[in-house]
Structure 1
């Protein structure tokens, strides 16, 4: 069927009860749209009847966008051409207002996939930031799951609430039914709350300080996922999980994303890439009183030498902690 033909079996809009943050059909007043110009510059704004969008290439009438199917181009009063779509979640989170730094889509996708966040899951999130990861977690658990987000700073919590409500088109006075945003320090408040969780995501400065609380809250088989920025944080959280004894061997990784330039025979890596943003660490909770088999490989020479001051595995051979020098 060509683009000019009218389909006979149009899909209806996504049911509001799904809380997907996605709409089908013509653009409506109150929705957000994303305009992209010929140089790749992007503009996000809410459609309001009677309003105008202004740029250095003139203006556009909101009324000229409302009622049209997304995926069209439109010219401004000064001849600028814009591509019009509803913003994807990955596009929304990198352009939304920020109180704190956001977790980028490449890391949010890894967290949802490798921490196996599923529909109906109960997820605890420490450090809501600006709400970027929260949107991905809420979409993954669905309206019948639960995301409990702890944030220490009230101003960050308020920015996150506005962003999450905007993405999911929450009616005035309501928010996503699966979301419970709380003010407080997870290290102190999680034990008091008695909250149990299938998954716990830690986006905080010192996640190793709350591992005991995380262990008590996670169900057997549950997953903890820590998001840390530096190698020293990475080492500390991995060794703390090992020393605790109630988790499987921690897995640590990072992802790097590079675009490619493709024009006929001119195929090469792009000049820009999303490099290091953070390290991710995951481990699974063992059943109470159970311990995972320790890995057989001996630590590298000097790994736990006298200069190392962090947590140590309980069964570390004594000779490993001796500092070694080459002759």
Structure 2
């Protein structure tokens, strides 16, 4: 890690305490780390089968590349020496003379293809979490529940190069495997932006100095996130988000219940279940327009792009790929000390509590108004007095600072 002595021009207008922030000086990162035109020793590679298939080619993840090493995938043997030094989209052959093209893996491909000892946070959820946290290059994020480092990579990419991720896991084996996965992606450029800690959230956070900068956002991937809220809240900046990754709805109900019972200064913004719905859009052949005596192969015509114009048609429909449930995402926001009444109603119980408090505070005033109105000889004045009491109560409930 490096420390900047001066603030870059592009960040001079951003009011941050840079004297307390550790950031990576990208000018001191080896230039070859950013060169993705050819493959170097230590890289991780995606190989795609060049055999033309309608449903897409087979994909293999190979790496890190080591001189003299070999990797077996799909019954094929890939020699690392035949890959090192090659350019992107070059073609290499296996021991069985099958051809594969070379590519750098996208982050989604990398997460889905790496070996795993725990279930990762899948791309659809990880990308949504990054959006819900509203991250910026200078953000400082706490992650509790490192796992295999999948979400850590998405977070690190979003805040690179001037932000920082502090990730905590109670399992030291998970930390070691996450470090390995992060080092092997994109030549490890995000590794220096991450601090790894082993232990419980409460133990790690209580050991931080009081002068430590607060976090801009928090992600909790643990079975009982409510057990750590009392330690996390003082470390989170005002108006910062907490995202909880919870597999089942009973955990969400318990979380909301405990937040309410303990009067944590948190507003529930939204609860999401992310579902991707892929579509199948491809060319096809209308057999009846090909002629009765013309032999042909539909797959060959499609893959060779030789479908006659008169027989050309397109398939457009949702792909039959039912996506299973992964988890719910709960977005919470830290609010002011007395701002529970200033936040737009997110839950029914917020409205009920606010109405109850308003009724209690206005009880004596309203009762006096009603007594005066009853003693009045003018029935219209009585009705006006009652109406004014209702109006005051309604205003107390609904005139909310947003």
- TM-score w.r.t. length of structure 1: 0.78
Question: Cα RMSD (Å) of the superposition?
Answer: 3.1
Structure with greater proportional helix content = 2
Structure having the higher Rg: 2
The structure with the greater share of residues assigned to strand is 1
Contact kept? 1:203, 1:226, Cα under 8 Å: yes
Deviations 1:132-163 (A, max 9, x none): 01111111122322211111111111111111
Residue 30 (structure 1) aligned with residue 42 (structure 2): yes
1:170-249 correspondence to structure 2 within 5 Å: 170=188, 176-193=191-208, 194=210, 195=212, 196-243=214-261, 244-249=263-268
Cα distance, 1:77 vs. partner?
3.0
Deviations 1:153-208 (A, max 9, x none): 1111111111112225249xxx8222111111113432442452110100000011
Give the direction of change, closer, same or farther, for the CA distance of 1:120–1:257 in structure 2 (3 Å limit). Answer: same
Residue 318 of structure 2 is aligned with which of 269, 290, 293? Answer: 269
1:48 is matched with which residue: 49, 66, 71? Answer: 66
Identify the match of residue 97 of structure 2 among 67, 71, 79: 79
Give unpaired runs (5+ residues) of structure 1.
1-13, 305-311, 319-327
TM-score of the aligned structures, taking structure 2 as reference length: 0.65
Q: Which runs of 5+ in 2 are unaligned?
A: 1-25, 52-56, 284-313, 358-402
Distance 2:100 2:28 in 1: 29
1:307 alignment counterpart? none
How many residue pairs get aligned? The number is: 292
Residue in structure 1 matching 2:273, options 254, 257, 262 = 254
Task: Give 1:106's aligned residue.
Answer: 124
